[in-house]
Amino acid sequence: MHDTSEIRKNILNMIKTLFDPEIPVNVWDLGLIYGVDVDSEGIVLIIMTLTSPNCPVIDILPEQVREVASSVPGVEEVEVEIVWDPPWNKEMMSDEAKLELGMLS
């Protein structure tokens, strides 16, 4: 039996270390991660999107998310599912991301 809340917190901390190569903001604050579910066996499902289906890192970023999540103690297996609905938009970004990108004053 794993402490799912602690594992989830640690996964989110690791995801926050990943940055979109085109935008100087981490993927969490960009709003690309829609969900992180951890079951009691340490099986993780991450639902994420990208800024567009033509995103140049479509093959790289989801694998990086899987790798950092897999590095968390207690994680046995990670599946990253890419979804396009709802489509990503700038409103999904955190206030910190908007401030970093000069979208807030």
CATH number of the domain enclosing 75:
3.30.300.130
Assigned domain for 16 exists: yes
Dist. CA 53–CA 49, nearest whole Å = 9
Residue 13 has pLDDT above 70, yes or no: yes
Question: Cβ contacts of residue 96 below 8 Å, gap of 6+?
Answer: 25, 29
pLDDT tens readout for residues 17-46:
999 887 889 999 999 999 999 999 999 999
pLDDT at position 102 is: 87
Q: For the chain, give the percent of residues with pLDDT over 90.
A: 75
CA distances 59 to 76, 98, 99, Å, are 22, 25, 28
Assigned domain for 71 exists: yes
Residue 105 has pLDDT above 60, yes or no: no
Question: Cβ contacts of residue 13 below 8 Å, gap of 6+?
Answer: none
pLDDT tens readout for residues 69-83:
999 999 999 999 999
Residue 2 has pLDDT above 80, yes or no: no
| Predicted TM-score (pTM) of this structure | 0.92
Assigned domain for 82 exists: yes
Dist. CA 4–CA 72, nearest whole Å = 12
